[in-house]
């Protein structure tokens, strides 16, 4: 009898363990979602193979989630990349491809081309900031705090976008949230801005890539950048600790990623693999325990982020989005076969490069082959390593590999085997045995660019002039119209594509997204605003009229 009882207990224990290991509570219809993002950082996490950088907070997140090893930005620089993230659209398909557009002091500055005038890109009328879809579905959406979308975010994009924005600010603690925290510690500028901060990595311990000369300045900049990554890890850990303090760790899906590759010379702004591939982690507490701590090698593009979040939140994905969901109920049936990227104006310097990557091979199309790879960007000249590289170039002390960046021209097409040639020095497009692969990638690129379009074919200021109807200022969003029918209030705007926001109390902290007719309670007033992205905001109208 004892043996039978013991056997029953053993079976019960095994069944319990199996259930715990393989089954979790189903996710709510609208799960909480947290984004922790950093800037200008490649694979500098212990969980992504770094031997020098100690990142225990994000490594733990990776151990509890999934590491995606083939996540790619759509640009090697901040603003075009962030435009693709917030819209789910390739930047050159909507006119946000040039770095950067919103520049108040750009006129007559040598940091921008002659005749340049700052502008907020007038993107297609059907394109929205994707948090607007989340807000319309009941989410509380916050951004802390960088936007940099190449256009002014409309008032309906976020509940709060500031250095104080936090899920803790939502008035209803049961309301689902989407919260973004962006850390600038790893940004390119912090290589020189934090020079006097303690180093956590020794310069003598770093590996100097072959495209750099081995100088004290280069070693110090690399060590500073890696040290900044370690500081960022601790900052990310504080946000994760707040999530645990609030009892939300077990019902919040957490993402971590960088906005593009390292903020170092010949990496940032490039559309080679080193400029585009980023560390990417997702911790989903609703998946079984035995599926955590895994590695996923599928290709992911930043245009996939918006549809993936909508999929996880059980919100229909708009058909115009150019990415595909890789998680959630609307997950694409087939993983991506290719990721795409673009490079256009960088500050004062024009170029036009397009990229296709299949996970191993990368194809580049250079539309301005007469231009050098190198661009004399004033902002980057503040970096000591850049100054050191240029000094050695002038002295004739760079080797052939290091001089490649400064070639006076470049081929129209380039093809690289990133598995066997990770630094992308050997152009296979010039080799007979790779012509079939070259044609395959060329054809993929041609089909893609025909499908999504490319507004960079039009000169930048001509594009802006067309958007603005030949005037010196952008169009004005029309004043919204308030219509009252019985107890229902309907809001409309004559400007196609304008988002309408409203408040029922003037002191309310944010503009709510208008989606359906409203009712007012006794003592309520109504304040209404509208904006199409790229247009000037409308004036505010009220009801009852004040």
Backbone angles phi, psi at 191, to 5 degrees: -65, -40
Q: What is the CA radius of gyration of the chain?
A: 25
Bridge partners of residue 518, in order along the sequence: 489
In eight-state DSSP terms, residue 2 is H
Could you tell me where the DSSP H helices lie in 291-420?
305-312, 384-394, 400-403
- Among candidate residues 38, 78, 129, 418, the one labeled active-site is 78
Q: How far is CA 409 from CA 314, 351, 367, 372, 374, in A?
A: 49, 12, 11, 5, 10
**Sign (positive or negative) of CA dihedral 297, 449, 333, 66:** positive
| pLDDT at site 486 | 82
The confidence score (pLDDT) of residue 17 equals 47
The confidence score (pLDDT) of residue 397 equals: 99
- Class of the 27-336 domain? alpha beta
Q: Would you call 78 a catalytic residue per the annotation?
A: yes
Q: What confidence score (pLDDT) does residue 546 get?
A: 64
Structure tokens at 363: 């194809």
Whole-angstrom Cα distance, residue 259 to residue 267?
13
Q: Which residues contact 451 (CB under 8 A, 6 or more apart)?
A: none
Q: Which two tokens stand for residue 289?
A: 């325990």
- Rounded Cα gap, residues 119 and 104, in angstroms: 9
- Cα angle 420, 425, 426; round to 5: 70
Packing angle of the helix pair 216-245, 56-64 (nearest 10 deg): 60
| Residue of 343, 50, 60 lying closest to 222 (CA atoms) | 50
Which residue ranges make up each domain of the chain?
27-336, 353-450, 481-543
Q: Supply the pLDDT for residue 3.
A: 53
Query: What pLDDT, on the 0 to 100 scale, is given for residue 110?
Result: 72
E-strand ranges in 243-291 read 252-258, 277-283
What are the CA-CA distances from residue 145 to residues 10, 90, 209, 257, 341 (Å)? 53, 22, 33, 16, 25
Please give the Cα distance from 92 to 94 (Å, whole number).
6
Which portions of the chain are predicted below pLDDT 50?
Answer: 1-2, 4-5, 8-9, 11-21, 106-108
CB 349 within 8 A of CB 375: yes
Mean confidence (pLDDT) of the chain: 95
Cβ pair 107, 334 in contact under 8 A? no
Question: Could you give the CA distance from residue 112 to residue 118 in angstroms, rounded to a whole number?
Answer: 10
Cβ neighbours, 10 Å, residue 56 = 14
Residue 431 carries which DSSP code? Answer: S
Q: What's the CATH number for 481-543? A: 2.60.40.10
Q: What is the pLDDT of residue 103?
A: 73
Separation between Cα atoms, residue 100 and residue 91, nearest integer Å: 12
Are the beta carbons of 313 and 79 closer than 8 angstroms?
Answer: no
Q: How many residues does this entry show for the chain?
A: 546
Predicted local distance difference test score (pLDDT) of residue 191:
98
pLDDT of residue 104: 55
pLDDT tens-digit series, residues 282-301: 999 999 999 999 999 999 99
Please give the pLDDT value at position 413: 99
CB atoms near residue 469 (< 10 Å): 9
pLDDT number for residue 15: 45
Residue 204 DSSP symbol: G
- Distance of CA 463 to CAs 468, 522, 537, Å? 9, 49, 21
Contact partners, residue 485, CB within 8 Å, separation at least 6: none
pTM, 2 dp: 0.95
Q: Whose CA is closest to 274, among 41, 519, 518, 529?
A: 41
Contact indicator for 532, 153 with CB cutoff of 8 Å? no
């Amino acid at each position: 009898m004892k043996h039978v009882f013991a056997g029953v207990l053993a079976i019960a224990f095994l069944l319990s363990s199996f259930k715990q290991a393989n089954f979790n509570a189903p996710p709510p219809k609208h799960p909480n979602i947290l984004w922790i993002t950093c800037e200008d950082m490649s694979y500098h996490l212990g969980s992504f193979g770094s031997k020098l950088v100690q990142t225990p907070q994000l490594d733990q997140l990776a151990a509890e989630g999934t590491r995606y090893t083939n996540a790619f930005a759509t640009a090697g620089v901040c603003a075009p990349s962030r435009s693709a993230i917030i819209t789910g659209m390739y930047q050159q398909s909507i006119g946000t491809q040039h770095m950067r557009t919103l520049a108040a002091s750009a006129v007559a500055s040598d940091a921008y081309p002659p005749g340049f005038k700052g502008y907020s890109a007038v993107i297609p009328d059907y394109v929205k900031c994707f948090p607007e879809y989340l807000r319309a579905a009941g989410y509380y959406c916050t951004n802390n705090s960088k936007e940099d979308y190449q256009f002014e975010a409309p008032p309906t994009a976020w509940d709060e976008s500031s250095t104080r924005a936090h899920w803790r600010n939502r008035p209803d603690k049961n309301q689902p949230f989407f919260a973004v925290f962006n850390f600038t510690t790893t940004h390119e500028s912090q290589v020189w801005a934090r020079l006097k901060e303690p180093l956590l990595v020794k310069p003598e311990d770093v590996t100097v890539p072959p495209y750099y000369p081995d100088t004290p300045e280069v070693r110090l900049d690399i060590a500073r950048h890696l040290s900044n990554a370690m500081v960022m890890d601790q900052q990310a850990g504080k946000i994760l600790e707040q999530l645990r303090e609030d009892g939300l760790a077990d019902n919040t899906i957490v993402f971590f990623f960088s906005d593009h590759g390292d903020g170092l010379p010949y990496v940032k702004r490039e559309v080679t693999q080193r400029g585009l591939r980023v560390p990417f982690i997702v911790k989903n507490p609703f998946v079984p325990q035995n599926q955590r701590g895994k590695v996923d090698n599928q290709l992911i593009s930043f245009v996939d982020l918006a549809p993936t979040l909508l999929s996880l939140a059980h919100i229909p994905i708009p058909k115009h989005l150019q990415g595909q969901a890789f998680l959630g109920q609307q997950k694409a049936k087939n993983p991506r076969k290719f990721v795409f990227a673009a490079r256009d104006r960088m500050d004062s310097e024009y170029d036009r490069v397009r990229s296709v990557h299949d996970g191993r091979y990368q194809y580049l199309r250079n539309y301005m082959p007469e231009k050098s790879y190198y661009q004399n960007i004033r902002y980057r000249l503040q970096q000591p390593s850049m100054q050191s590289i240029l000094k050695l170039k002038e002295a004739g002390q760079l080797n052939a590999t290091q001089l490649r960046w400064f070639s006076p021209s470049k081929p129209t097409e380039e093809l690289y085997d990133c598995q066997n040639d990770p630094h992308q020095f050997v152009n296979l497009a010039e080799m007979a045995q790779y012509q079939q692969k070259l044609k395959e990638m060329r054809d993929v690129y041609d089909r893609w660019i025909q499908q999504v379009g490319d507004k960079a074919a039009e000169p930048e200021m001509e594009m802006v002039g067309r958007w603005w109807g030949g005037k010196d200022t952008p169009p004005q969003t029309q004043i919204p119209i308030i219509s009252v029918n019985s107890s229902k209030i309907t809001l409309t705007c004559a400007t196609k594509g304008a988002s309408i926001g409203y408040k029922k109390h003037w002191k309310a902290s944010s503009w709510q997204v208008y989606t359906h007719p409203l009712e007012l309670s006794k003592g309520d007033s109504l304040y209404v605003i509208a904006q199409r992205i790229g247009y000037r905001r409308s004036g505010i109208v009220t009801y009852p009229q004040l």
